[in-house]
A and B are shown apart, each in its own frame.
Chain A
Amino acid sequence: MASLKALKLRIASVKSTQKITKAMKMVAAAKLRRAQQAAEAGRPYASRLDQVVASLAAKQTIGPNSPRLLAGTGSEERHLLVVCTSDRGLAGGFNTNIVRAARRRAEELQATGKEVRFYLVGRKGRPPIARLYPGQIVHQYDTGDIKQVAFDDARRIAEELTVRFAAGEFDVAQLFYARFQSALVQDPVGQQIIPVQLRAANDAAAPSTEVEYEPNEEEILAELLPRNIAIQVFRALQENAASEQGSRMTAMDNATRNAGDMINRLSIEYNRSRQAAITTELVEIISGAEAL
């Protein structure tokens, strides 16, 4: 049995750990609220842009002249997986889950003989991917000094992706991130961003009247497609930010509770050994007195 002194130290150390995890949980909860609000504020733009792109694209027939971002390069050999993770750990299974989803996809693709490359956003995805797929990371976008996700970051990532696409580095790009459902549930998902995938245009929403376009439909579409990619990246980053905080909050809540349980167990052990020590001492005194 551990000595009284050792037990006391142990309790003190678990207590200070509990304080830290509790504080982290509280911070995560506050950040989560902010991230959720930001994600909600971005919804109107995304849904409108979606509608417009869908209605424009529905009128176009995909031919050799249509924009490559929409029609693709005609082959599906080289895939780029854009993996968005966080910069910090201690967020439960958040980063692991995203990386696992990307890995599963990469294995599927490689099994069918496709070429896979990785584009990383955030720091935590690098170690596991670099270990499993050495030399296949084309770039890592550093999000180290971003406090709140800004559209400019998403636009920069999207621009870089479109430049690489235009240079013929890949045929298909997929985006991996965790979709936020609640503080308890975050879904790692993969979503194709290049070529642009269109949701079926809602016929009811399509205007019956003739719409005038300026400069013309093709040019508007050509300008909207890169923007659409930026918006999808932006949505992913926002969802990711909310998921990260949600995941961290849950993880830290569990850690706080575990620390509490441990303190209880240790306190009981401490009290028992203290009592045992007192009893032994008394027995010694009494038997000493009897011997006289």
Chain B
Amino acid sequence: MPLHFELVTPERLVRSDEVHMVVVPGSDGDFGVLAGHAPFMSTVRSGEVLVYPTAGTAPQRIAVEGGFAEVNERGLTMLAERADVVA
């Protein structure tokens, strides 16, 4: 079952799609989110989010600046002040 991942900045909706796993740079340490993760909320430090579209593939990297992440039954939502896809 894929994980629904949304990344939003104040200026636009950066991403909204189904992925395998996302690794988020939480302020108390990185954490990975798979489908079916327990409800969770954390602030995010500036760093890189790793998005794994499917299991076993190389991750896409997105640089984010400040914000927080929320995991609920609908998936993972990240609110970042800034987000740039790292080439």
Q: List 24 A-B contacts (CB under 8 A).
A: A38-B11, A42-B11, A44-B8, A44-B13, A45-B8, A45-B79, A52-B41, A52-B79, A151-B11, A207-B73, A211-B40, A211-B72, A212-B38, A212-B41, A213-B42, A214-B26, A214-B41, A214-B43, A215-B27, A215-B28, A220-B43, A220-B68, A223-B68, A227-B81
Q: Which of B12, B38, B66, B81 contacts A41 (CB 8 A)?
A: B12
Query: A150 at the A/B interface (Cβ < 8 Å)?
Result: yes
Interface pairs A-B: 10 shortest CB-CB: A214-B42, A211-B39, A41-B12, A151-B10, A45-B8, A212-B40, A45-B10, A44-B8, A214-B28, A209-B39
Residues of A in contact (CB 8 Å), total 29
Contact across chains for B39 and A212 when beta carbons are under 8 A apart: yes
Residues 30 to 76 of chain A near chain B (Cβ within 8 Å)? 38, 41-42, 44-46, 48-49, 52
Chain A residue numbers with a CB within 8 Å of B46 are: none
**What is the minimal beta-carbon distance from B30 to any residue of chain A, in angstroms?**
12
Query: A22 at the A/B interface (Cβ < 8 Å)?
Result: no
Interface residue SS majority, chain A? helix
Q: Chain B, interface size: which category?
A: 20 to 34
Chain B residue numbers with a CB within 8 Å of A41 are: 11-13
Contact across chains for B43 and A46 when beta carbons are under 8 A apart: no
